[in-house]
């Protein structure tokens, strides 16, 4: 029988691979989610960090971590705060961690969850905070079709299109989940506190990689955009201007190699700046990578090779039904 060693473990059943263990690892200076996952993949327990910090660092490729900091945490590991009732901490190696999210290269080591975790077929529906009336109507129709086809709706609880998507899901008897840029115990914006409660009461949930009570920030809002697309089978851009935070989700969708669906501007508003992002993504001549804030050669080349950038351009709601039919 093969003898287990420090670097021959199953992180899903180890102390460091647990949700609390991964959370504790991210308290160490220089340790983010990916480094925490790497460390949990080579060391089974806090005591192992004390015994062989240099070995762990070398095997995990964690060159930014100091052996002293790793060993010190092993002596006095930090426990996550006890969450309020209805909130849980879920770890990357847990069975109910969102399946598709685990596949992205920047998956969070842990997520705080209020309510349920996303499950089943999922579609991210995102867009501007200031949609036009036609934009709202289109999103409502698309979400109705998605719910009828058995899809849960993933969005970000922001005002505008996100709110429309969540509300349309609930109105049609569906479930919906919101990724937040704040702690799940303090959902933002305040105007959507009631919506957040309805999402949970209807069987959905709020999720965040931010710690409990952590306030919203520009950085966390952008970071959560990758989680919306990463959790979902595909992303729908309901309506977007330029610049727009929505385009971060579009970029992440491309990087994650998930289908990007874009609503075409209606004829009556084709020149409206509120649709500028959609126009760029659906342009048959392609899109300027700068609009998507592409910052790597690989991504710039990918965007440049796609004409249009969108995998599907929706000029009517029937096209979404056709797309879903082909995926069955």
pLDDT tens profile 223-238: 999 999 999 999 999 9
Rounded to the nearest 10 degrees, the angle between the axes of helix 193-201 and helix 161-171 is: 30
Three-class SS state of 101: helix
What pLDDT sits at residue 40? 96
What pLDDT sits at residue 8? 59
Say how far apart CA 118 and CA 50 lie, in whole Å: 37
What mean pLDDT is predicted for residues 70-86?
95
State yes or no: pLDDT of 1 exceeds 80.
no
Q: What's the token pair of residue 26?
A: 């991210």
What mean pLDDT is predicted for residues 90-95?
97
* 285 or 3: which leads in pLDDT: 285
In the sheet that holds 122-127, the strands lie side by side as: 87-91, 110-115, 205-208, 176-179, 152-155, 122-127, 234-239, 260-263, 312-314
What pLDDT sits at residue 5? 45
State yes or no: pLDDT of 2 exceeds 50.
no
Kindly state the percentage of the chain with pLDDT values over 70.
Answer: 97
Say how far apart CA 166 and CA 174 lie, in whole Å: 9
State yes or no: pLDDT of 7 exceeds 70.
no
What mean pLDDT is predicted for residues 134-160?
98
What pLDDT sits at residue 12? 86
- Which stretches of 26-177 are DSSP H helices? 33-40, 46-51, 53-60, 67-75, 133-148, 161-171
pLDDT tens profile 254-267: 999 999 999 999 99
Say how far apart CA 246 and CA 72 lie, in whole Å: 41
Say how far apart CA 44 and CA 21 lie, in whole Å: 10
Say how far apart CA 134 and CA 54 lie, in whole Å: 59
pLDDT tens profile 166-197: 999 999 999 999 999 999 999 999 999 999 99
So where are the chain's domains? Answer: 11-75, 113-327
Q: What's the token pair of residue 290?
A: 């700068």
The CATH fold assigned to 113-327 is: Rossmann fold (3.40.50)
Say how far apart CA 307 and CA 88 lie, in whole Å: 43
What mean pLDDT is predicted for residues 17-30?
97
Question: Average pLDDT, whole number, for the chain?
Answer: 95
């Amino acid at each position: 029988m093969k003898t287990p060693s420090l670097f021959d473990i199953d992180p899903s059943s180890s102390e460091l691979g647990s949700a609390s263990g991964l959370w504790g690892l991210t308290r160490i200076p220089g340790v983010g989610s990916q480094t925490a996952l790497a460390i949990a993949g080579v060391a089974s327990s806090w005591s192992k960090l004390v015994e062989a910090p240099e070995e762990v660092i070398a095997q995990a490729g964690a060159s930014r971590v100091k052996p002293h900091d790793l060993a010190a945490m092993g002596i006095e590991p930090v426990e996550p705060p006890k969450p309020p009732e209805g909130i849980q901490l879920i770890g990357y190696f847990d069975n109910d961690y969102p399946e598709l999210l685990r596949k992205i290269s920047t998956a969070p080591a842990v997520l705080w969850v209020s309510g349920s975790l996303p499950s089943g077929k999922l579609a991210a529906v995102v867009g501007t905070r200031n949609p036009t009336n036609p934009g709202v109507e289109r999103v409502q129709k698309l979400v109705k079709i998605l719910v009828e086809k058995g899809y849960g709706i993933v969005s970000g609880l922001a005002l505008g299109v996100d709110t429309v998507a969540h509300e349309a899901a609930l109105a049609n008897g569906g479930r919906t989940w919101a990724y937040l840029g704040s702690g799940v115990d303090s959902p933002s914006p305040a105007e959507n506190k009631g919506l957040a409660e309805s999402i949970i009461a209807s069987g959905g949930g709020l999720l965040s990689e931010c710690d409990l009570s952590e306030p919203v920030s520009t950085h966390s809002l952008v970071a959560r955009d990758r989680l919306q697309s990463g959790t979902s089978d595909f992303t729908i851009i309901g309506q977007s201007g330029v610049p727009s935070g929505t385009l971060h989700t579009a970029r992440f969708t491309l990087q994650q190699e998930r289908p990007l669906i874009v609503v075409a501007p209606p004829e009556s508003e084709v020149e409206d700046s509120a649709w500028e992002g959609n126009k760029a993504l659906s342009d048959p001549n392609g899109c300027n990578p700068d609009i998507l804030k592409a910052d790597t050669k690989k991504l710039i080349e990918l965007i440049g090779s796609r004409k249009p950038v969108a995998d599907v351009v929706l000029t009517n709601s029937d096209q979404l039904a056709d797309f879903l039919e082909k995926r069955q």
